[in-house]
Amino acid sequence: MQRGPTCIYLGAALGAYGFGGGHPFGRDRMEAFRRRAAQKGLEDRVRVCTPVSADRDLLERFHVPEYVERVRTLSERGGGFLDLGDTPAEPGIFEAGSTVVGSAVDGAERLLRGDCAAVFLPIGGLHHARRDRASGFCVFNDCGVVIETLKRDHGLERIAYVDIDAHHGDGVFYELEADPAVWIADIHQDGRTLFPGTGGAEERGKGEAEGTKLNLPQPPGADERDFHAAWEEVEAHLDRARPEFIILQCGADSLAGDPLANLAFSPATHARAAARLQERAAGCRGGLLALGGGGYNRENLAEAWTAVVAALADPV
């Protein structure tokens, strides 16, 4: 299939996802990335796509209806939290979260049609949200909705989800732990030292999905050499997976200097991951959907995400 250019999603509706009052996941994160991308001339080398909102049916492919309604109600009312204290129920968060999901699914559909060679969504990868609850700044799990859509609408049977965010992607991992269609590889800071406290190396999937999941916890301070060693295991896992579609959650909180984590990766790790996965995706039915994920040092996220986009826009 002849594929189009690398596509990125930018727009006020997508950038609206975040929280005020000095919250680490502020609504300035997308703009920090956009400014750096413009400085590096990246917007001239990609196609910029308009964010898309998800309807209730789409949200409920992963989330239970009662939870979706609870978010809508609390968002409309405003005030309080959607979880135990990390994820505020601010006015408009339902609409903003729906835009993250809708844009991620729209990106996946573009890849399947061949409209894009790769897609990057800076505000996305909300990997902590569970089917019935919010967690860790994540209201709706766009990763999970994309995966369920790929299976339901397109009949995909081998989907790879690779996560290099500092925090374990527990919302994706545990909700799909017994699903043999989903192959997960997650490099993260050891859960004994960081939220959400999960992702042990012994967890490899359940039932028919045994062996389709790979957790690679790293000690605090793990650096480039540690990443490269772990990445070799990711590559071997993907060799076994032979995926039809690849999702990359490329959280920038795994870079040195993030205020909420203790890893010491660099933008080069993110560029390498994106480039290697894009090589694999060239032979897939779908392609590579990259989601920004975490990252709470604005300089870090700008550098990591522009490194990802550069690797996708100019493949070797």
What does the alpha-carbon distance between residue 254 and residue 189 come to, in Å, rounded to a whole number? 8
- Active-site entry in 63, 127, 128, 167: 128
Other beta carbons less than 10 A from residue 65's beta carbon: 10
Helical pair 267-281 and 224-241, crossing angle rounded to 10 deg: 10
What does the alpha-carbon distance between residue 286 and residue 114 come to, in Å, rounded to a whole number? 8
Going by C-alpha positions, the residue among 109, 58, 154 that lies closest to residue 289 is: 109
Amino acid identity, residue 227? F
The answer to whether 168 and 252 are in contact (CB under 8 A) is no
- Whether residue 128 lies in the annotated active site: yes
The answer to whether 230 and 271 are in contact (CB under 8 A) is no
**Adjacent-strand bridge partners of 312:** none
The answer to whether 142 and 104 are in contact (CB under 8 A) is yes
Determine if the peptide bond prior to 196 is cis (ω within 30°): yes
What does the alpha-carbon distance between residue 128 and residue 223 come to, in Å, rounded to a whole number? 24
Which H or E run contains 112?
helix 93-113
Going by C-alpha positions, the residue among 280, 247, 242 that lies closest to residue 169 is: 247
Which residues are annotated as catalytic?
128
